[in-house]
Amino acid sequence: MTSTFTIAIDGPAGAGKGTLARRLADHYRLNLLDTGLTYRAVAHSLLRLGLPLDNVSAAETAARQVDLAKLDRAVLSAHAVGEAASKVAVIPSVRRILVDKQRAFAKTPPGAVLDGRDIGTVVCPDADVKLYVTASAEVRAKRRLDEIESIGGTANFDEILADIVRRDERDMGRMDSPLKPAADAHLLDTSEMAIEAAFLAAQAIIDDVLAKRNEA
Ligand code: C5P
């Protein structure tokens, strides 16, 4: 039997889980899936067709067409697409279609790092390591502002903060697969932690699990 290794990373928008996931996938030579892109791809299809985001059958069709190998981060990373993604993400049938694809990805050797909102709770409840990465809404808003300004853009802190709070409420308050830490997740609060420190903390947790697995 071929064994795989799965690292599940969940947390709210802007907590740094994407960067952490990339670093860990590189370090442990695992496949990487940003599951947020799958919800963004569905939202992007509906926006492009001019369809409302609560059109369930169109959203299901778009979800079936999502190809994990063809997710275009440059197109999907737009702020409006993220907002729209959190609206299609409340549709249970869309979640089921995308979760099936995410699970198949996780099972492909040698295993994967997946980041999202429901990886440790729903997509990969048996993941070898579960991390829940969080940071205060203010810190996440400041990071987003710095990011926008670093590429020459301008934005308003209060508006970014309001967006973040609204997205948190939508993601944590939905009926199906709300954002919450799995009971066995390790919590990493990056409010006062640089990404390198978060990476080292995650690495210590993962190395410990790997050592125990090798002993068994
Ligand atoms: O992480 P990202 O900002 O790209 O995610 C966009 C939206 O997709 C989230 O706000 C959330 O509503 C949804 N999502 C989800 N489950 C996941 C990943 C993302 O519901 N596993």
**Per-residue pLDDT tens for 150-200?**
989 899 999 999 999 999 999 999 999 999 999 999 999 999 988 899 999
- Ligand 1 contact, 164 CB (< 6 A): no
208 domain residue, yes or no: no
72 domain residue, yes or no: yes
- pTM for the full model? 0.96
214 domain residue, yes or no: no
Given this model, what pLDDT does residue 194 score? 86
Residue with CA at minimum distance from ligand 1 atom 10: 86
Q: How far apart are CA 21 and CA 17, in angstroms?
A: 6
Res 1 pLDDT > 50: no
115 domain residue, yes or no: yes
How many angstroms separate the alpha carbon of residue 118 from the centre of ligand 1? Answer: 9
> Average model confidence (pLDDT) for the chain?
95
- Ligand 1 contact, 10 CB (< 6 A): no
Residue with CA at minimum distance from ligand 1 atom 12: 86
- Cβ of 103: how many Cβ atoms within 10 Å? 14
Average pLDDT for 138-149: 92
In percent, the amount of the chain with pLDDT more than 70 equals: 99
204 domain residue, yes or no: no
Number of domains in the chain: 1
Residue with CA at minimum distance from ligand 1 atom 16: 117
Given this model, what pLDDT does residue 195 score? 84
Residue with CA at minimum distance from ligand 1 atom 4: 36
Average pLDDT for 69-79: 93
- Ligand 1 contact, 120 CB (< 6 A): no
Domain coverage including residue 123: 5-197
Q: How far apart are CA 131 and CA 198, in angstroms?
A: 11
206 domain residue, yes or no: no
Res 23 pLDDT > 80: yes
Q: How far apart are CA 90 and CA 170, in angstroms?
A: 9
Question: By the 8 A CB rule, do 37 and 84 touch?
Answer: no
Res 42 pLDDT > 50: yes
Average pLDDT for 130-135: 97
Q: Which two tokens stand for residue 26?
A: 């590189």
Average pLDDT for 39-62: 98
213 domain residue, yes or no: no
Average pLDDT for 52-78: 96
How many angstroms separate the alpha carbon of residue 117 from the centre of ligand 1? Answer: 6
112 domain residue, yes or no: yes
Instruction: Name the residue type at position 196.
Output: E
How many angstroms separate the alpha carbon of residue 120 from the centre of ligand 1? Answer: 14
- Ligand 1 contact, 14 CB (< 6 A): no
**Per-residue pLDDT tens for 79-106?**
899 999 999 999 999 999 999 999 999 9
Given this model, what pLDDT does residue 45 score? 98
Q: How far apart are CA 96 and CA 57, in angstroms?
A: 13
Given this model, what pLDDT does residue 214 score? 85
For position 177, which CATH number holds? 3.40.50.300
Instruction: Name the residue type at position 195.
Output: I
